Chain A
Amino acid sequence: DAGITQSPRYKITETGRQVTLMCHQTWSHSYMFWYRQDLGHGLRLIYYSAAADITDKGEVPDGYVVSRSKTENFPLTLESATRSQTSVYFCASSGQLNTGELFFGEGSRLTVL
């Protein structure tokens, strides 16, 4: 099916482990984003990408790594998970930022013990 999908939807891990959240979109959108959502903070931008092989930091990039070797995929890696990274993570994509809406994945709920 067309759309934007995230996996896993739910993940429990331990402090210090590496975790990768996957994001795949089928629209060939240029722009892709990773946000985290915590109570009281709304959505905060972690990283975004304007095209394959082009990524840039958002508001809260520390502790995260991204890559975009293909237009359709934008994985987010926590290299050494910390409890403060317990959150809901949303991936989103857009074809044109000033005229096109963001399309969101369903979110990935990550718990770091």
Chain B
Amino acid sequence: AQKITQTQPGMFVQEKEAVTLDCTYDTSDPSYGLFWYKQPSSGEMIFLIYQGSYDQQNATEGRYSLNFQKARKSANLVISASQLGDSAMYFCAMGNYGQNFVFGPGTRLSVLP
């Protein structure tokens, strides 16, 4: 069965510093995608970054990078140079071909001025 684990219910980071949000996953499928979403207090779900299971390089999108360690089944999100606007809930998710799309419980990130 597919499962996403996020072990950090809440995280604090100082403005301008980097922060890593942890995500581990479990699947028996060889082809899958890993995603991170941001949910600010306004409630919308914002797509941040994607990593395919066959991708050799870690994905990057601006200040976001995904530290993909396939053997350990981890897909941690790294946010560099944190900004106050980064304060939000962050969800790790996985999509498997022919199956469905599951989310982790989320991590609430608070950026301190």
Contacts and interface: CB of A to CB of B under 8 A. Distances in A.
Contacts, number: 69
B52 A58 contact: no
B101 A97 contact: yes
Interface string A25-51: 000000101010000111101001010
Interface residues of A, number: 27
A5 B101 CA distance: 19
Interface in B57-113: 91, 93, 95-106
B103 A104 contact: no
A80 interface: no
Contact of A107 (B29, B44, B93, B102): B44
B91 A43 contact: yes
B100 A98 contact: no
